[in-house]
Structure 1
Amino acid sequence: MNSILSNLLSLTSIISPCIVFGTCCFFLVKKSSVEAILMTIGSGIGLLITILYSFLPLIISTQHLAYTEISKYYAIVGIISLIASLCFAAGLLILVINTVKKQPVIHNQFPKSTDYNHD
């Protein structure tokens, strides 16, 4: 019972990557653009990596792998995770740059005390 509970608690780390991936998929459906594609790819691979990291200790313990093999797997998964993070970051950067360019700059949008007519 304790191992089942600990496995379920370890799956809570999947919640935020699922939300990010779902949001990126929604953005991709609404606006098919380079930034949406990059962010969806990055978050999708990130979600898969998070799931893999959750189950990797279980796989390692059942296969009785040597430390050298385990370190190879973690290195490969780490490199893939880095590439996914770079894809997501590039997409987010493009999205921010495009959003900032499109918004008009509004000067003096807040009223000043001198703007009110004092009778």
Structure 2
Amino acid sequence: MNSILSNLLSLIPIIPPCVVFGACCFFLIKKSSVEAILMTIGSGMGLIINLLYSLLMPLLMASQNLTPTEVMKYNTVVGVISFIAGLCFAAGLLILVINNAKKSKIIPSQFPKSND
């Protein structure tokens, strides 16, 4: 029972990247644009990295009896990939924000001003 509960709790860190990836895929389906593609690539790579660290890395370390030096090599490679994924997502988000800010210049005039 304790093993089942610990296995279920180990899946909790996977939920947010899955939600973000799902939202990015939905955005990509609705509007195929550069920002949607960049955000989907970045979140997909982030999801894969999160799965790697949460599920596969502990199993790999236990089965291979890896030394700390070997684990550090894996962490370095995955860290570089994670950095690239973060840059892709951030670039897509920045492009999305800039494009939406340009389109919605009239928003402040749509709200009534208080007469206090």
TM-score, normalising length from structure 2? 0.90
Q: Secondary structure at the match of 1:97?
A: helix
In 2, distance between residues paired with 1:32 and 1:94? 13
Residues 112 and 3 of structure 1, relative CA distance in 2, 3 Å threshold: closer
Aligned to 1:34: 34
Aligned to 1:12: 12
State the Cα distance separating 1:7 from its structure 2 match. 2.3
* Count of residues paired in the alignment: 114
Aligned to 2:86: 85
Unaligned runs of 5+ in 2: none
Runs (4+) of structure 1 moved beyond 2 Å? Answer: 1-5, 104-109, 111-114
TM-score, normalising length from structure 1? 0.88
State the Cα distance separating 1:10 from its structure 2 match. 1.1
- Higher gyration radius (CA): 1
In 2, distance between residues paired with 1:64 and 1:4? 24
Unaligned runs of 5+ in 1: 115-119
Aligned to 1:117: none
Q: What is the alpha-carbon root mean square deviation over aligned residues?
A: 1.6
Q: Does 1:113 align with 2:87?
A: no
After superposition, give the CA deviation of every residue in 1:44-99 in whole Å (9 maximum; x if it has no partner). 00000000001211210111111111110011111101100110000000000000
Q: Percent identity?
A: 64
